[in-house]
A and B are shown apart, each in its own frame.
Chain A
């Protein structure tokens, strides 16, 4: 599967990760989904609701989820995924990410090294929850 992300949107995710560094940032990705492809149209940054360990954990609450879902519906879009940052850590899912992941969603992870956004990669949980599959991250327009 591939995820199509306009460069401006990817840049905003990277910025968000830099702004919250050394803490993790997080947010929703809104767009459309078809067979084998998700197209990201908009992101909605979220406050990381963790009260501690924000340098390596993030949390989005059900209330935030409901609000984002209704915003997506109003915009004629779907919630298709989640982005978050890994401060001073690689742009690949951790065991904790796997344990907490939802199927079907795409997950974009931005590595932020010393406050500067570095690599970004897209992932999707395998249906048997055994791990993640790397998605092709394509720059749309």
Chain B
């Protein structure tokens, strides 16, 4: 009869005289196993169950193939084959996470529990879900609040900012007393006060190509509450690479959008927006403003989608872009398709690891442009103050919008918004010493460049804008 080599795993060797390989006679795997059990009787109960069937964590391989994919125990063997017993290892606690809710939890979640779409099973899914919210700002505030209230067991938050007075008009997870505190700390306090069942995981970091995969890994759902293109592309690409659904939302002034990306067969953000807009073309909320209520609407849509994904119920926004015009209070829905040529989620992806997203979005290009002005075209707030005190003949040109001029103004300044400058340049005189300012210095740098190009030589940009002036010179003036 054929003798066949059978490899014994370490865990069973003690029962086979500490041999790692034994030679047994048999034509099939089944015969060899019976032979093994009779040669080493103590091994029997570890390999077979009480009914004499192979235990489900005992895997038998003929060479590299699991016998479950061959003819099971009837698989024929020859002297050339090597049979090995390879363990799979299983275990776990008695505590089924589906253990009963406490009385108080039943009350807390009762309005979920009585609905068939959620019920006890769904509430347990929420309890075991891990959701990461990137950005604890306008969108993150309602997302975190509602997911915490809904009983999502683990909420991760990524943010590195501190709470600022300008946040309070829309970031409702913060109170006036939180100004100056790290956002993560303030948000975590609020979440724990709302619902002590929630475990909060804090990632006090800027999301980067280096840390994104390790931060996102292990979460079931990611909610994108970012306010800039580099991070949005980074979140999207990392979600595609890790296979995590990405609940997207964005807001600007009175307009909002929401969708769900990175679902099976659904598009990702790049399928829809392969390239970011040119830097500077789309203003951020800090530059263009946003209706404070708007992130409340879009954020609660994101929270709803996150809950549905966890429950596995309903139709998600995957493949659909919801577009809101709050001024008309009009919702539209655009169909989105997965792009088979998408560089990240397409059939032949060209981006297989995270890239430099700031470079991709041209942020650095923009900075360089501003820096290119050179020192001789700039003036600091202190230097400007001295010139004014010395009685120099100056024209201070404010290139902000009229709404901004109503907030704060350097006395005696002339207001010509940047957009109107080319047609109103005749109102200025090349002989005058011109100091140009905006809020932070970006728009005025563009104005200085334009003025230089049309022949102005005595023109300087106020570095840091009127906000720097308010900070360094006129402390009674409000920054915004």
B93 touches A87 (CB 8 A): yes
List 5 tightest A-B contacts by C-beta distance, closest first.
A55-B97, A89-B95, A89-B93, A86-B93, A57-B92
Residues in B whose Cβ lies below 8 Å from that of A86: 92-93, 95
A79 touches B10 (CB 8 A): yes
B90 touches A57 (CB 8 A): yes
Residues in A whose Cβ lies below 8 Å from that of B42: 127
Known: A55-B128, A104-B12, A104-B13. A61 touches B88 (CB 8 A): yes
Residues in B whose Cβ lies below 8 Å from that of A96: 90-94
Residues in A whose Cβ lies below 8 Å from that of B387: none
A36 to B18, CA, bound (A): 15
B87 touches A129 (CB 8 A): no
| Cβ of B14 under 8 Å from chain A | yes
A53 touches B13 (CB 8 A): no
A26 touches B153 (CB 8 A): no
Known: A102-B46, A104-B12. A58 touches B90 (CB 8 A): yes
Residues in A whose Cβ lies below 8 Å from that of B218: 19-20
A78 to B91, CA, bound (A): 21
Contact mask A97-141 → B, CB, 8 Å, 1/0? 100111111010000001100000000000111000000000000
Residues in B whose Cβ lies below 8 Å from that of A56: 92-97
Q: Quick one: which of B59, B96, B128 contacts A22, CB cutoff 8 A?
A: B128
| Cβ of B89 under 8 Å from chain A | yes
A13 to B230, CA, bound (A): 36
B interface, how many residues as a size bin? 20 to 34
A26 to B90, CA, bound (A): 9
A22 touches B97 (CB 8 A): yes
Q: Quick one: which of A87, A88, A97 contacts B91, CB cutoff 8 A?
A: A97
Contact mask B178-221 → A, CB, 8 Å, 1/0? 00000000000000000000010000000000000000001000
A residues neighboring B (CB under 8 Å): 19-24, 26, 53-62, 65-66, 69, 78-80, 82, 84, 86-90, 93-97, 100-105, 107, 114-115, 127-129
| Cβ of B358 under 8 Å from chain A | no
A84 touches B91 (CB 8 A): yes
What 18 additional pairs, Cβ within 8 angstroms, besides A19-B218, A62-B66? Answer: A22-B154, A26-B91, A54-B128, A57-B91, A58-B92, A59-B89, A59-B90, A60-B89, A79-B10, A80-B10, A88-B95, A96-B94, A100-B91, A102-B87, A103-B12, A103-B46, A129-B45, A129-B46
| Cβ of B61 under 8 Å from chain A | yes
Q: Smallest CB–CB gap between B67 and chain A, Å?
A: 11
Q: Quick one: which of A26, A100, A105 contacts B11, CB cutoff 8 A?
A: A105
Residues in B whose Cβ lies below 8 Å from that of A104: 10-14
B153 touches A22 (CB 8 A): yes
Residues in B whose Cβ lies below 8 Å from that of A58: 89-92
A66 touches B86 (CB 8 A): yes
Q: List 29 A-B contacts (CB under 8 A).
A: A20-B218, A22-B97, A24-B91, A24-B92, A55-B128, A56-B96, A58-B92, A59-B90, A62-B61, A65-B88, A65-B89, A86-B95, A87-B95, A89-B93, A90-B93, A94-B91, A94-B93, A94-B94, A96-B93, A103-B11, A103-B14, A103-B15, A104-B10, A104-B13, A104-B14, A105-B10, A107-B91, A127-B42, A128-B45
Residues in A whose Cβ lies below 8 Å from that of B14: 103-104
| Cβ of B57 under 8 Å from chain A | yes
